[in-house]
Amino acid sequence: MYRIWFFIILFASVLFANDKIHCHVTKHSDQNSIRSQGNGDSVANAFEAIQIFMSVQTQHPVADCRIEVMVPQNVFVISKSFAKHCLLSANQTLWFTILCNENFALPQVEVQIQFFEKNVAVGKAVYSIPFAQKIDWQQRYQRITKTPIENIYQNLSRLQQLIYELQQILMAASRQGDIALQYAVKKELDLLVLIETVQKKCKVVAQQLQKVKNNHWRHETNTPILQSAKSTLVFLQKKDLSEIPDELRQKVSQLEIRQRELAERIAQKKSQRYLSTIQEQQRWAKGIRIYSWTRVHTSRKHLQKKIEISEKAYQSILSETIRHQARKMIEEMYEKDKELVQKQLDQYQKWALNTILKAFQGYSGEWAISEKDAKKILKYSDIKKIDFRYLSPATARAVNNVLQKLFATMGTKSAFMIEKTMSETPKTTPDKF
């Protein structure tokens, strides 16, 4: 009894299925609308591709509906939605794509579509779809490249679609051995791929720079972001962008300027404390005063320490603007050090001349010194401590003139012994002053 009722219900469901689901199918064979659908190999070998749109009308939602598409050999169905059970709502529009490879030479293909609800067939439709017999790849290439790049490059999806289609034409031209078409397509394809790359990377860099602004200029957070943006822009700089649209090339330049400005602004904020350190050392250097009782060497030693601190702080400055300011301050300290060195040398000249005058105190104004007196002067005075390396030309001539006269009073052996003693005597340097 139950079996009888089951078959009655099953027969009724099939009989009245059309009251439940109605299907209207339209085909669309414009290859421009087909892009990256399903298996890549199938797409690569496609001879013709047709999209089918189905408007499935139901009186109420169907809970467990399956749609099967049956096609002959060498015809591929591309649709993820039909591989599984799907829930159809009222007046839902679905679509799928079928592809026919180059080995399929029939003028049309018969497509059978069946509708199942809970594994029970509730509807079926058979459609004969015409196929073209041959594709003129040269004509297709001319058609899709007719639109100027300037009119489409900003539409990334359209750009990617063109890249995909050119890839298909390139493979077809390669199979046919059409060298001229391959060259033309390859050149156009390389340009479009470059434009796509520039577009994508510009978008990423723009987002990174905006993120830096949103981070309220925090150095720790923004530095790696800016470094990443700079690396991307350097990558683009290494590319030949002469053929891409002017507006896109200007966009790259604007992003480079913006990246440098943001990096400089953050660097200035971090570098400010190092600049303050250098300013403090410079103020001390400007306050140096040398008096008659002051040792220049002591002031110079302190100044060199200040310069060392400043140079160390300078190495931590990232901002080019602040580095320029800091270097100017440090150079002023070096100039101050040169002034102190000159003061030491001036005092050294005075000391050398005074040493000679002191050595001859007590002697008559006339030059009448014996060998004994000459030996005594050279032995007990500081003349032998004078270092000629630090003497000015005028001072050196004066000291050398005196020494020549002293040595002139001696015999050869005595002069040699005195010269030996003088060469072995430690010399006084300007650091003493």
Read off the CATH number of the domain in which 78 is found.
Answer: 2.60.40.10
Rounded Cα distance between 233 and 253, Å, is 9
Q: Which of 214, 259, 215 is nearest to 233 (CA)?
A: 259
Does one domain contain both 184 and 116?
no
Does one domain contain both 6 and 126?
yes
> pLDDT value at position 268?
86
Rounded Cα distance between 308 and 313, Å, is 9
The pLDDT of 212-219, averaged and rounded, is: 74
Classify residue 307: in a domain, yes or no: no
> pLDDT value at position 265?
86
> pLDDT value at position 130?
58
Classify residue 79: in a domain, yes or no: yes
Does one domain contain both 115 and 207?
no
- Please identify, among 130, 165, 199, the residue that sits at the C-terminal boundary of a domain: 130
Question: Range of 121's domain?
Answer: 2-130
CA distances from 116 to 17, 24, 98, 260, 337 (A): 10, 16, 20, 63, 96
The pLDDT of 115-129, averaged and rounded, is: 62
Q: Is the pLDDT of residue 334 over 90?
A: yes
Classify residue 73: in a domain, yes or no: yes
The pLDDT of 340-358, averaged and rounded, is: 89
Classify residue 286: in a domain, yes or no: no
pLDDT cut 70: percent of the chain above it: 64
Classify residue 289: in a domain, yes or no: no
pLDDT: is 49 or 422 the higher one? 422
- Please identify, among 183, 211, 244, the residue that sits at the C-terminal boundary of a domain: 244
CA distances from 206 to 114, 160, 198, 199, 354 (A): 50, 21, 12, 11, 74
Q: Which of 342, 344, 356, 365 is nearest to 399 (CA)?
A: 356
> pLDDT value at position 105?
46
Classify residue 334: in a domain, yes or no: no
Classify residue 279: in a domain, yes or no: no
- Please identify, among 130, 149, 170, the residue that sits at the C-terminal boundary of a domain: 130
pLDDT: is 270 or 67 the higher one? 270
Domain count, the chain: 3
User: Which of 76-85, 89-98, 293-302 bottoms out in mean pLDDT, i.e. has the lowest?
Assistant: 76-85
User: Which of 21-25, 182-186, 291-295 bottoms out in mean pLDDT, i.e. has the lowest?
Assistant: 21-25
Does one domain contain both 102 and 192?
no
Does one domain contain both 114 and 206?
no
User: Which of 42-51, 125-134, 389-398 bottoms out in mean pLDDT, i.e. has the lowest?
Assistant: 42-51
Confidence of residue 13 (pLDDT cuts 50, 70, 90): very low
Does one domain contain both 119 and 12?
yes
Does one domain contain both 175 and 111?
no
Does one domain contain both 384 and 402?
yes
Structure tokens at 178: 């059409």
> pLDDT value at position 168?
85
> pLDDT value at position 44?
33
pLDDT cut 90: percent of the chain above it: 25
pLDDT in tens, 136-193: 788 888 888 888 888 888 888 888 888 888 888 888 888 888 899 999 999 999 999 9
Does one domain contain both 234 and 120?
no
User: Which of 19-28, 62-71, 114-123 bottoms out in mean pLDDT, i.e. has the lowest?
Assistant: 19-28
Classify residue 357: in a domain, yes or no: yes
Does one domain contain both 67 and 103?
yes
> pLDDT value at position 36?
29
Confidence of residue 322 (pLDDT cuts 50, 70, 90): very high
Contact residues for 125 (Cβ-Cβ < 8 A; gap 6+): 23, 25, 112, 113
> pLDDT value at position 305?
93
Does one domain contain both 146 and 114?
no
Rounded Cα distance between 59 and 68, Å, is 21
Does one domain contain both 116 and 155?
no
- If you average pLDDT over each of 45-59, 276-290, 351-365, which comes out highest? 276-290
Q: Is the pLDDT of residue 33 over 50?
A: no
> pLDDT value at position 206?
93
pLDDT: is 411 or 311 the higher one? 311
